[in-house]
Amino acid sequence: MVKGLKVATIGGGSSYTPELIEGFIKRYEEFPLSELWLVDIEAGKEKLEIVGNLAKRMVKKAGLPIEVHLTLDREAALKDADFVTTQFRVGLLEARAKDERIPLKYNVLGQETNGPGGLFKGLRTIPVILDICKDMERLCPDAWLINFTNPAGMVTEAVLRYSNIEKVVGLCNVPIGIEMGIAKLLEVDHSRIHIDFAGLNHMVYGLDVYLDGVSVKDKVINLLTNPENTSFVKNIEGLGWEPSFIRSLNVLTCPYHNYYYKSQDFLEKTKKDAEEKGTRAEVVLKLEEELFELYKDPDLNIKPPQLEKRGGAYYSDAAVRLITSIYNDKRDIQPVNTRNNGAIASIPADSAVEVSSVITKDGPKPIAIGDLPVAVRGLVQQIKSFERISAEAAVTGDYDKAVLALSINPLTPSDTVAKQIVDEMLEAHKEHLPQFFN
C-alpha cells in the first residue's frame, strides 16, 4: 500500500490557510495528500479552530479523503511529514503595526519586509525558523521546507547559512502576481506568459517577458508607462513610474520597488495613510476580523473571495504548484528563493536569491542569467548585504550588527537614525527578541 502524503503547516491559524486548502484540493490528482496538520501556538488557538473547521468543510465539500488535524503540538505535526510549510508571524499583527508605526516617527518607511520593519521581522522570525529546522532534523529529516514567512529572502538566507536543512525553498506570491497582472494587461491566459525573474525577494526584476515563447518586453514596458498599469499586488498601491525612467531601466519592476525608487513620495503617502486609515497592519487587523467572522459561518465551505484583499492572492497557486512540481519531478520553471549557485554572477554563490528555476525532485535548479543589468545590480547587492548582516544579527543577538544592518539599508538616512530606531524597536519588541537581552 502506498504511504499517504503528510503536510505540516506551521502557522495553520493564518487567514491565508483557505488559499492553501484550495490549492491542495485543486491539485489532489497530482498530489494525493492524506494528512494535513495545521499547527499553531496558544495565542493562535481560536483562529486555528475557526480556520481549521473551514478547512474541514472545504475538504468535505470536495469529497476527498484528506484528514485535517488541528494541533498546538508541533512535534506531532512534524513527525514523518513529507513537506513542511511555514506561514507564521512572531508577535502577530500587533508586532507588525509597531514595525510600521515606529520608523515613521523618524521619517523612515517601516514595512513588513523592507527597512526597519523588515529587519525586526527578520530578528523575531529567524530564531523560530531555526528551531523548526532543528525539530525537522529529528522528526522528518527527509521533508522539504517550503517557507512563505516574511521576510522570505532573509529567512531562506538564514536557513541555508545557519541550519543543516538543505531541502528548503522560499516562496513569494509577488512573481506570480506580476505574471497574472501582465497576462491581464495583454488580455491573454496566464499559461501563455513566461517571465525571466532574477534578484531577491521583494527586490526581483523581470529581465524579459514572453508571450507564447516570443519576447514582448518592449510592448509590456510601454504599457507600464501608464500609471494605472503598475499595481500587481493588493497590498501596495503603485504610484506609477515616470515613463522615461521605466523605459530606460528596461526591466519589469515589482511593487516593492516603489519603496526604493519613490522613497520620498511613498513615505509621504504612508504617513498620510497611517493618519487617515491606519498602517497596513491596522488595516489588515480589521480585514482579518471580517474574514474570521466569515470563516465562522458553518455553511461556508469555499475560500471566500474577500481573502484576495488580504494581499495573499495566488498564494495557493504558487505554494501547491511548487510542492506538486517537486513531488512529481515536473521540471517546469518557477521563480523561487533558493541558493544562488552562480545563477546571478554578482551575488555570492552560497546566498539566497529569487530566480526562475527548474523545479525537480531534488529541488530548484536556478537558471543561470549571468549578471544583472548594471542599472539594478548595485541596489540588489546592497539589499543582499542588508539581509546577510540582519540574519547574522538575528542569530547572534549582536546589537552592533543590528545597527549596521539598518544603517546600510537604503531606506535609512543615517547611522544615527538607524541607532535611534533600533533602540526604540528593541524595547518595543523585547518579549520576542530574547537573544538581545540575555
Mean pLDDT calculated for residue range 288-317: 83
Residue 204: enclosing H or E segment and its boundaries?
strand 203-211
Compute the mean pLDDT over every residue in the chain, rounded to the nearest whole number: 94
Confidence check: pLDDT of 149 > 50:
yes
Confidence check: pLDDT of 224 > 80:
yes
Cβ atoms within 10 Å of 166's Cβ, excluding its own: 12
Mean pLDDT calculated for residue range 234-262: 87
Report the DSSP beta bridge partners of residue 147: 86, 170
Can you give the three-state secondary structure of 37-62, one letter per residue? EEECCHHHHHHHHHHHHHHHHHHHHH
Confidence check: pLDDT of 111 > 90:
no
Q: Residue 110 — very low, low, confident or very high, per pLDDT cuts 50/70/90?
A: confident
Q: Residue 303 — very low, low, confident or very high, per pLDDT cuts 50/70/90?
A: confident
Quote the pLDDT of residue 233.
Answer: 59
The model's pLDDT over 16-57, given as tens digits with 9 standing for 90+, comes to 899 899 999 999 999 999 999 999 999 999 999 999 999 999
Confidence check: pLDDT of 207 > 50:
yes
The model's pLDDT over 339-394, given as tens digits with 9 standing for 90+, comes to 999 999 999 999 999 999 999 999 999 999 999 999 999 999 999 999 999 999 99
Cβ atoms of residues 13 and 48 within 8 Å: yes
From the list 131, 134, 175, 136, the residue with the least C-alpha distance to 152 is 175
Quote the pLDDT of residue 306.
Answer: 79
User: Which positions are annotated as active-site residues?
Assistant: 256
Q: CA-to-CA distance for 381 and 334, rounded, in angstroms?
A: 22
The model's pLDDT over 406-423, given as tens digits with 9 standing for 90+, comes to 999 999 999 999 999 999
Quote the pLDDT of residue 295.
Answer: 95
Quote the pLDDT of residue 231.
Answer: 63
Highest mean pLDDT, choosing among 167-171, 173-177, 231-235, 274-278: 167-171
368: its cell numbers: 543561470
Judge if the upstream peptide bond of residue 151 is cis by omega within 30 degrees of 0: yes
> What is the reported pTM?
0.95
Cβ atoms of residues 19 and 312 within 8 Å: yes
Cβ atoms of residues 64 and 5 within 8 Å: no
Q: CA-to-CA distance for 189 and 184, rounded, in angstroms?
A: 8
Q: Residue 1 — very low, low, confident or very high, per pLDDT cuts 50/70/90?
A: very low
Quote the pLDDT of residue 420.
Answer: 98
